[in-house]
Amino acid sequence: MATVKKEDCSCPRREKARCAHKPWLVTYREPGGRAGAQREIRFKLKDDADAFAIKVERDKDLGVYINPRKAKQPFSEIWNLWLNTGTLEPGTYANYKSVYSNHFEEWFAKRPIGAVSSEDIAKWEQWEKDQGYKPYGIQVRKNLLSSVFGYAVAAEIIGRNPCRTANPRKNEGRSSYTPVSDDEIPETEQVLGIIAEVPKGLRAAFWAMAGCGLRPGEALAISDKSVEWEGGVLLVNHQVTAHGVCQITGSRRGVKRGTKHRKQADSRRTPIPGPVVEVFSDHIDTFGMWGEGGWFFESPRQPGRHPSYDWLLRQFKDAAKAAGSPQYTPKSFRHYFVSECLHANIPLYEIAQWVGHRDTRTTETVYGHLRTRAFKRGSDALGERIAGDLSSFRGKIDAPQVIDLDEEQAA
């Protein structure tokens, strides 16, 4: 059992209330009976000492005891433990380190892991919003934070995860994905305008994003082997990445087999519109292919290497600015693809497979609201279709007669 006793200090009586000494000593053992280590902790006030003594015994009984000294470790140490536990792909590892230095380090690095509260997390979220970051990105980074604190809970370093707050509607889950807004989706004219400003050797990649729904890294990894020319189908099973992909190209930057939410052996198939097939064919006729894989796109500065995503992003930004649409990003072309598919009444589950979403819930969350536009289009189209057929019935449909039951019985 925890014991509480007072060990008086030598300060004059009239100064004891203001002195820095903590006279109340709590002595207790960690779980494990006699094998448990004996601990001591001091408090300024007796009430605080008594409360801690009761809590530590209750936590031992419930099996939720946490060593307070472990919780004093700085967040940076726990982050490094979490980051280096298990195996991460080099690209993911580099991305996590970048997120830490740009978003977490300033706020949490030197803080004791056990001192970070839910209020601190809320303040961090507000700071992210004030910096202009979009809700989806903030939620993704919060999920990362939650994973770190969850690791600390599982390792019995802290007792609770500050990223998880009480929710009276526990079945009301919140997705990290947010609905795309109308101003994030370009019109066809804007897509054409941006692509017209892109260097000719890169236009096929932009059409792969706008016409097939590929991510930028996937678009840069198109090869002759990934195109089923007769069937008009694109096999998406590679992506260009910047870190540690030596298994194909032998260089630090290269093509990785597998795509987001897919294992290396998995791939997805997406249709290629006829005009995009022609674009791909024209690209090969004009610029040829390189390497054993028959890759479409080659680095302009380093022959025999794949171009980088950063280079594609710079080309997109310059083209969008020249076209008078600087608000768009490469992801906007993916939004355009899904939007046009929905407008064509293609089922969500097919679109989800084409663009490589984890499941249809992602597609529903991000793009589901766009389907409401189809109701009006459907109503207008059906109205135009049947308007002529109903014209011959106008004025000839009799109104229903109301029968008085009392008069009918009297008759």
Classified as helix, coil or strand, 84 is: coil
Q: Does the pTM of the predicted model rise above 0.75?
A: no
In the chain, where does the domain assigned CATH 1.10.443.10 lie? Answer: 186-370
pLDDT more than 90, % of the chain: 37
Q: Taking the mean position of all CA atoms in its chain, how far away is CA 240?
A: 19
Q: How far apart are CA 75 and CA 127, in angstroms?
A: 19
Q: Distance of CA 305 to CAs 205, 221, 291, 312, Å?
A: 16, 11, 9, 14
Pair 49, 25: CB distance under 8 Å = yes
Alpha carbon separation from 59 to 46, 139, 155, 245 (Å, rounded): 20, 32, 16, 48
Average pLDDT rounded to a whole number, residues 187-199: 94
| pLDDT digit string, tens, across residues 74-102 | 999 999 999 988 777 777 888 899 999 99
Instruction: Note the pLDDT tens digit of each residue in 143-189.
Output: 999 999 988 888 878 878 898 864 444 444 455 567 778 888 999 99
pLDDT for residue 358: 77
User: Which pLDDT value is given to residue 246?
Assistant: 42
CATH 1.10.150.130 intervals, the chain: 72-154
CA pair distance 81, 49, nearest whole angstrom: 33
Q: Indicate left, alpha or beta for 32 from its phi (over 0: left) and psi (-120 to 50: alpha).
A: left
Which tens digits make up the pLDDT trace of 12-44?
878 877 888 888 888 878 766 676 777 788 888
Angle between helices 330-343 and 309-322 (to 10 degrees): 70
Q: Whose structure tokens read 């094998």?
A: 35
Cα–Cα distances (Å) from 252 to 219, 223, 243, 256, 338, in that order, read 19, 20, 6, 11, 33
State residue 166's pLDDT score: 47
Residue 209 pLDDT: 95
Write out the H or E segment, with its range, that includes residue 75.
helix 75-83
Pairing outcome for strands 38-43 and 268-271? unpaired
Please tell me the predicted confidence (pLDDT) of residue 260: 58
Q: What is the CATH architecture of 72-154?
A: Orthogonal Bundle (1.10)
Q: Which fold has domain 186-370?
A: hpI Integrase; Chain A (1.10.443)
CA 297 to chain centre: 28
Q: Report the alpha-carbon distance of residue 76 to residue 108 in Å, rounded.
A: 7
Token pair recorded at residue 215: 């991510």
Q: Per DSSP, what are the bridge partners of residue 257?
A: 238
pLDDT at 123 over 50: yes
